[in-house]
A and B are shown apart, each in its own frame.
Chain A
Amino acid sequence: MNGLMPMDMTTVMGFIVVFSIFLYVVMDGFDLGLAMLFPLARRDDRNTMINTIAPVWDGNETWLVLGGGAVMAAFPTAYAILLPALYAPIMIMLLGLVFRGVAFEFRFRSARRARLWDAGFVGGSVAASFMQGVALGAVLQGVTVVDRQYAGGWFEWLTPFSVLCGVSVIVAYMLLGACWLIMKTEGHLRDGAYRWARLLLVAVLAAIVLVSLATPFLLGTYWDRWFAWPTMALTAPVPVLVALVALALVRTLAARRDYWPFPLALALFALCFLGLGVSVYPYIVPGSLTIWQAAAPEKSQAFFIVGVVLLIPVILVYTGYSYWVFRGKVGADAGYH
């Protein structure tokens, strides 16, 4: 660690933040997406659906806490600007996650209220997903900062672009959820998941195109990044790769190859993430603060990075073990619950 310059350490912390948020988005993404597919599924399939994620959802959600904690620890000024700026979306997301999280147990505890908790499971997941997308859009379009503090109003986050991002995240999570179900289930539930995935892929590609078209017009730096030489040489492959992955998804969905759509959907997410990262870097509050301007002192970051280096590999191992224990298809008759 001593060999690193403080600037490099800040970049490392930036990667850690992006890594945690990415893992959160894909892992809780399929949980939330699966919940939003509930209304489309047959009632007797819903227990199977929830049983595919019951043993792992809590670990998936923990990456959200690490992502938030990493921003607070390493970029406290950005944390202090962005969270008040996103006050309403964050609060609604948290309340949505409350309803989503308790439904796993509650729906099995009361026959009479099971449908109510299922509604909370779906509604909470829709609210959380939409608000995560809105928050992303609000950060991308920039927030009003005066004197290193948030200085905008309560509803600055609400624009057509942030709503577009909210809807995009909903359909993207639903695609992940459908691909997860294809991998984890059999019979008519899997047939349904294939149908949903094909439709959702179209919606997701449309969303990617719309967000990509709108983003360069938000801030001048984005435009330069994508359409000015020499950075264009680095950015141009991203849309090409997106197109290739999308094509592979179309083909594996058509050929009904159960174990391919989920990893391909993850790859699609990774590419979109990469695209966003290329647009935003090195800003953490776009248009206002770079990661270096928002950085905590070296001592805070170094302490954090030591923990990440020692602990994250261990976490990944036992998280992988937990997925391994619950590997394979979940039949309708052998639910965990």
Chain B
Amino acid sequence: MLEQLDAVLLARLQFAFTMSFHIVFPSFTIGLASFIAVLETLWLITNREVYHNLLKYWMRVFAIAFGMGVVSGIVMSYQFGTNWSRFSELAGPVVGPLMAYEVMTAFFLEAGFLGVMLFGTDRVGRGLHAFATYAVAVGTLISAFWILSVNSWMQTPQGHIVDETGRILPGDWWAIIFNPSLPYRLVHMVLAAYLTTALVVGACAAWHMLRRRAQDESRVMFSMAMWMLLLVAPIQIFAGDQHGLNTLEHQPGKVMAMEGHFESHPDGAPLYLFGLPNMETGTLDHAIGIPRLGSLILKHDMNAPMAGLDSVPREMWPPVPVVFWSFRLMVGIGLAMLALGLFSGLARLKGRLYDWRWLHRAAFVMGPAGFVAVLAGWVTTEVGRQPFVVYGVLRTADAVSPVAAPAVGASLLAFIAVYTAVFMAGTLYMLRIMARPPHDHEPGPSRDVPQRAAGITPGGAMAATGAPGDAKGGRR
């Protein structure tokens, strides 16, 4: 079977596979690091043991997720060379320094303070420990900035010069880094990470509340997660819409594929809800659409003309069905997040946030939804960029390494085997931690707490037990 697939497709499959596995972990750890930083701040301010317990509980999950993010990330950094050596040679002068800045400003910061954060509880004071946690959280955000700058430049390149040999050279670093799609992509991705984490935390809390366990901790984290959904899901939908308008300006072909607009609509385009994109005939079969709504959303004028893929040469079309469906999946989940947030708002108004079991069931079911939405969003934007790797500048087919297909295929199979086994086990271990309720005197990642920290915690623990109901944790 492998012989029939060409090296380019295999290299793309390998990148898609390793990248999809990788992005799941940063999406979670970006949000979780900020969540832990907030918990630690609340603990520092209020001294309530419930925050301390939650802090240690989620640090154990974080340690596993972060480790998996690190090992799958190192694979990504070397794949540019092994599988995409032409890309590395031609675009390396632009993307190489940006990724090096990610290492120097983010990876070292995270790694340098992660040890103190996870294992230093009884070696440094509370203030220094909080500083380490903030450093890790800020590191995850800096990392997101640089890697999204690279990706955004590949989507909306500017500030570069292509020389006579085809090499892509830096012209203006400021223009390269702050390229047109960076602000939208960065906001959209960081909010996605926060929502993804809120859904996981909310589902974990809902699970324990449904089983009537760990009332204090579950209520605090459930309240925090639901505030996040209620406030951020609408912002995310707005940010996504703005991102879409930016894409329409710079990568119109991608939006045509997302919308299923094969044909041009001179007097207002419909918004297709469903349909079967047919690349052969260039039509959207069995389409269900709302007339003129597409123009209203994308141009803010229901009669505005919109070009379709018929205005684009065939060889420049991205694979429409993939983009069309992954976009709908992402949007659908986003609307479900909004609905869950509104549901929780209603429950809060009625004073039933902690006992409306249908809300808890809904939150539990939505637990993994953020990851699916993140993957669907990345599929939309990456597949929608095809057939280019650097949009309009370098074709994917011209970026691949001179490595024979069987070698790429063999390594792809090895990655599938190893990642499936290792990351399934890691996910299982995280779920196992989350399946047990958080409790007083959580062990945290550091297991020698009883030895040295005996004198530190009890006071706080006693102060905290008095006030289970008035969870004020949700101000984030």
Q: Which residues of A contact B (CB under 8 A)?
A: 54-56, 58-59, 61-62, 64-66, 68-70, 72-74, 76-77, 79-84, 86-88, 90-91, 94-95, 97-102, 104-106, 108-110, 113, 148-151, 154, 296-297, 299-300, 303-304, 307-308, 311-312, 315, 318-319, 321-322, 325-326, 333-337
**How far apart are the CA atoms of A95 and B78 in the complex, in Å?**
12
Contact call A335/B447, Cβ cutoff below 8 A: yes
Partner of B402 from the list A56, A100, A106, A151 (CB cut-off 8 Å) is A151
Label chain A's interface by main secondary structure.
helix
B2 vs chain A, min Cβ distance (A): 14
What B residues does A336 contact at CB under 8 A?
A: 119, 446-448
Decide if A322 touches B173 in the complex (CB within 8 Å): no
Q: If A55-B120, A87-B82, A300-B170 touch, does A334 touch B448 (CB 8 Å cutoff)?
A: yes
List of B residues within 8 angstroms of A83 by Cβ: 78, 81-82, 85, 88, 401
The distance in angstroms between the C-alpha atoms of A80 and B452, with both chains bound, is 52
Query: Which of B93, B108, B452 touches A59 (beta carbons < 8 Å)?
Result: B108
Do A154 and B63 have beta carbons less than 8 Å apart? no
Check: B290 CB closer than 8 A to any chain A CB: no
* B residues near A59, Cβ cutoff 8 Å: 108, 111-112, 114-115
A311 to chain B, nearest CB (A): 4
Chain B stretch 94-143: residues in CB contact (< 8 A) with chain A: 94-97, 99-101, 103-105, 107-116, 118-120, 123-124
The answer, among A69, A95, A148, A307, for a CB contact under 8 Å with B414, is A95
Q: Quick one: which of B67, B72, B97 contacts A300, CB cutoff 8 A?
A: B97
Which residues of B approach A to under 8 Å, CB–CB? Answer: 63-64, 67-68, 70-75, 77-78, 80-82, 85-86, 88-90, 92-97, 99-101, 103-105, 107-116, 118-120, 123-124, 169-171, 173, 401-404, 407, 411, 414-415, 418-419, 422, 425-426, 429, 432-433, 445-448, 451-452
Q: A58-B70, A80-B88, A98-B422 are in contact. Are A150 and B402 (CB under 8 A)?
A: yes
Q: Which one of A68, A101, A303 lies within 8 Å of B97 (CB-CB)?
A: A303
Question: What are 26 A-B residue pairs whose CB atoms fall within 8 Å in the complex?
Answer: A54-B118, A58-B70, A59-B112, A61-B70, A64-B74, A66-B104, A66-B108, A69-B103, A72-B100, A76-B89, A80-B81, A83-B401, A87-B82, A102-B426, A106-B64, A106-B429, A109-B433, A110-B425, A110-B429, A297-B93, A300-B92, A308-B104, A315-B112, A325-B115, A334-B448, A337-B119
- Chain B residues with Cβ below 8 Å from A79 are 81, 85, 88-89, 92, 96
Which 5 A-B residue pairings sit nearest by Cβ, starting from the closest?
A: A73-B96, A55-B115, A83-B81, A76-B92, A80-B89
Decide if A105 touches B63 in the complex (CB within 8 Å): yes
A94–B70 alpha-carbon span in the complex (Å): 11
Known: A74-B96, A307-B100, A319-B108. 12 other contacts (CB 8 A): A58-B110, A61-B74, A69-B96, A76-B96, A79-B88, A149-B85, A307-B97, A307-B101, A312-B104, A318-B109, A322-B115, A334-B452
In contact, B103 and A297 (Cβ under 8 angstroms): no
The answer to whether A68 and B88 have CB atoms under 8 Å apart is: no
Residues of B within 8 A of A87 (CB): 82, 401, 403, 407, 411
Q: Nearest-CB distance from B171 to chain A (Å)?
A: 8
Give the one of A61, A74, A76 with max B CB within 10 A: A76
Query: Is there an interface contact between A325 and B116, defined as CB atoms closer than 8 Å?
Result: yes
> Which partner residue on chain B sits nearest A323 by CB separation?
B115
One of A73, A80, A98 near B100 (C-beta < 8 A): A73
Is the Cβ of B404 less than 8 Å from the Cβ of A335? no
State whether A77 touches B407 (Cβ < 8 A): no
For B85, B110, B404, B414, which residue has the most chain A Cβ atoms within 10 angstroms? Answer: B85
By a CB distance below 8 angstroms, the chain B residues around A81 are: 85
Distance of B153 from chain A, by nearest CB (Å): 14
- Expressed in whole angstroms, the Cα–Cα distance for A86 and B73 within the complex equals 19
Give bound CA distance, A308 to B411, whole Å. Answer: 34
Q: Are B115 and A326 in touch, CB under 8 angstroms?
A: yes
Q: Nearest chain A CB to B223's CB is how many angstroms away? A: 29
The residue that B64 contacts in the complex, of A99, A105, A315, with Cβ under 8 A, is A105
Candidate in A77, A86, A312 with the most chain B CB atoms within 10 angstroms: A77
Contact B108 A315 (CB under 8 A): yes
B93 touches A84 (CB 8 A): no
Write the nearest CB–CB distance from B367 to chain A, whole angstroms: 20
Pick the contact of B88: A72, A154, A297 (CB < 8 A): A72
Option from A102, A297, A322 in Cβ contact (under 8 Å) with B170: A297
CB contacts (< 8 Å) of B115 on chain A: these are 54-56, 58-59, 322, 325-326
Residues of B contacting A68 with CB < 8 Å?
77-78, 81
Give A251 Cβ to nearest chain B Cβ, in Å: 33
Among A80, A104, A154, A299, the residue within 8 A (CB) of B407 is A154
- Complex partner residue of B169 from A148, A149, A297, CB under 8 angstroms: A297
Cα A98 to Cα B76 in complex, Å, equals: 12
Contacting residues, chain A, for B123 (C-beta < 8 A): 325-326
Given contacts A65-B103, A315-B112, contact A94 B75 (CB under 8 A): yes
> Contacts of B74 on A, CB cut-off 8 Å?
61, 64-65, 94, 97
Given contacts A76-B88, A87-B403, A312-B104, contact A97 B411 (CB under 8 A): no
Kindly list chain A residues whose C-beta atoms are within 8 Å of the C-beta of B452.
334
Whole-angstrom distance between the Cβ of B162 and the nearest chain A Cβ: 12
Task: Name the residue in B73, B100, B418, B432 with the highest tally of chain A Cβ atoms < 10 Å from its Cβ.
Answer: B100
Instruction: Please name the residue on chain B nearest to A81 by beta carbon.
Output: B85
Most buried by A among B64, B71, B411: B71
Q: Which residues of B contact A109 (CB under 8 A)?
A: 64, 429, 432-433
Complexed CA–CA distance, A322 and B118 (Å):
12
CA distance A154 to B169 in the complex (A): 31
- Chain A residues whose C-beta falls within 8 Å of the C-beta of B170 in the assembled complex: 297, 299-300, 303
Inter-chain contact B107/A65, CB cutoff 8 Å: yes
| Contact partners of B119 in chain A: CB under 8 A | 54-55, 326, 336-337
Contact status A55-B96, CB under 8 Å: no
A80 touches B451 (CB 8 A): no
How far apart are B220's CB and chain A's nearest CB, in angstroms? 25
Bound-complex Cα distance A97 to B472 (A): 43
Q: Nearest Cβ distance between residue B273 and chain A, in whole angstroms?
A: 42
A101 touches B67 (CB 8 A): yes
In the complex, the chain A residue whose C-beta lies closest to that of B429 is A109
Q: Are B86 and A80 in contact (CB under 8 A)?
A: yes
